Amino acid sequence: MAGGLESRSGALSIEPMLAVSTPKPFNSPERIFEVKWDGIRAIAVVTGGTVRIHTRGLKDISEPFADVGAALLGALGGRDGVVLDGELVAMGDDGVPHLHRVMERWHQGPLARNPVPVSFELFDILYDEGASLMREPLAARKAALHAVVEPNELVHLTHFEDGEGIALYEASTALGLEGIVAKDKRSIYQPGKRSRHWLKVKHTRSANMVVGGYTFGGGARKELFGSLLLGAYDGGELRYVGSVGGGFSNDDLALTYGALTQLHTERSPFAEPPEVQRFLYWCEPVLVVQVSYGEFTEQRHLRFPIFSALRPDVGARDCTLDAIRAEG
C-alpha cells in the first residue's frame, strides 16, 4: 500500500515527539519505562519498497545508513506503508552507546571500508500499511510494533518495563547508559511536540547549542580554535550562553574547525555580543553542537560545559532557551 503514504505528504515529513526532563526516577502503573539511547533520533519511512531515514530536523540520512535501511526492509518482511520511530545507536569500545560514534559513522559516508557498526533501536510505530496509528494510545502502538517488526542483527525492539522506573534507572546507571524515558501508556503521538506525557530522567545534563563564533587556539591547538562561543534562541534572537573548550577529540577538533572556517562573518550573530578577551571570529549561526554541563543558571549561562558531539541532525532554530530548560 505504497500509495497510502505517498498520498499523505505529512507521513513523509514527520518530526519525532520529544520528552520533557524530570529530575528523579519514579514508578507508575500508568507508564512504561525505556532506556534513553545516546544516538541520533530518526524516523524511518518505508514506502514502495524503499526506506527513507530522516532526523528530527527532517534531514535525509538514508545514504550513510543504507545498511540499516536494508536491514529494516528485511525486518518488515515485505510490509509497506510503514513509519517507525527510533534511535540510531553505535557502541564504543566500552560496550556503551556513544553519540560521537554514530556521528563518526555519518561522516564516514556510505563507501567507508570499515564503517562504524550502527543499529536501529525502534520504540514506536506511526503508520502501518498506509494507515496512521498516531491517534492510538501508546500501549496499542507498542503491540502493533512488536507484531510488525521481526528483529535482526541491525534492527532491534527497545525493551521496556511496565511501571518499574526506579529499577530501570538504577540498572541504566550501572551500565553507563544515558538515562530512561517514562511514557504514558495512553499517550497519542504528537509529531514535533515536546510533551509531559513523555518524561526523561538523565544521569547528566546536556543540550544542543548554536555556535556563534570561536576564539583563536594556542599551544597544541594554535592551528585550530580555542573555545566555541555558544548561543540559544529566545524570541527570535540568539542569546549568548557561554563557551566550551574541553571535551574535543582530535577528530572532533578537525571536523569542527573545518566547518567553522566556512562560516566566517563580519558581524556578531548574538543579540548582545559577549566580551571576550581573546582574538576571535564570528560565525553564521548554523552549526549545532551538543554539550554536557553542570548547571544552567538563572542568568542564562552554562556552568562547566563539555563538548559532546557535532549535531548536523539538529536545526539551529530548534536550539532555544526553552529547549535547554526542557532538556536539562
The whole-angstrom separation of Cα 90 and Cα 96 is: 8
Cβ-based neighbour number of residue 43 at 10 Å: 23
**36, 142, 200, 202: which is the annotated catalytic residue?**
36
Q: Answer whether CATH 2.40.50.140 is correct for domain 205-327.
A: yes
pLDDT digits (tens, 9 = 90+) for 51-60: 999 999 899 9
**In this predicted structure, what is the pLDDT of residue 328?**
62
- The burial class, CB within 10 Å (0-12 / 13-18 / 19+), for 277 is exposed
64 DSSP assignment? T
Per-domain residue ranges for the chain? 2-202, 205-327
Main-chain phi, psi angles of 80, to 5 degrees: -130, 170
| Alpha-carbon separation of residue 211 from 27, 243, 254 (angstroms) | 38, 9, 16
Active site residue 24: no
pLDDT digits (tens, 9 = 90+) for 274-289: 887 678 899 999 999 9
Residue keyed to cell 510488525: 148
The arithmetic mean of pLDDT across residues 53-81, rounded, is 95
Of 68-77, 100-109, 141-150, where does mean pLDDT reach its minimum? 100-109
The answer to whether the beta carbons of residues 105 and 116 sit under 8 Å apart is: yes
Q: Which fold has domain 2-202?
A: D-amino Acid Aminotransferase; Chain A, domain 1 (3.30.470)
The arithmetic mean of pLDDT across residues 229-257, rounded, is 94
**In this predicted structure, what is the pLDDT of residue 111?**
66
Please check the confidence at residue 65 and state whether its pLDDT lies above 70. yes
Please check the confidence at residue 42 and state whether its pLDDT lies above 80. yes
The whole-angstrom separation of Cα 198 and Cα 162 is: 14
Confidence of residue 7 (pLDDT cuts 50, 70, 90): very low
Please check the confidence at residue 270 and state whether its pLDDT lies above 50. yes
Task: Provide the mean pLDDT of the chain.
Answer: 92
pLDDT digits (tens, 9 = 90+) for 99-138: 989 998 998 876 677 889 999 999 999 999 999 999 999 9
The arithmetic mean of pLDDT across residues 5-26, rounded, is 81
The structure's pTM equals: 0.83
Given the DSSP bridges, would you call strands 40-47 and 82-89 parallel, antiparallel or unpaired? antiparallel
The whole-angstrom separation of Cα 139 and Cα 16 is: 18
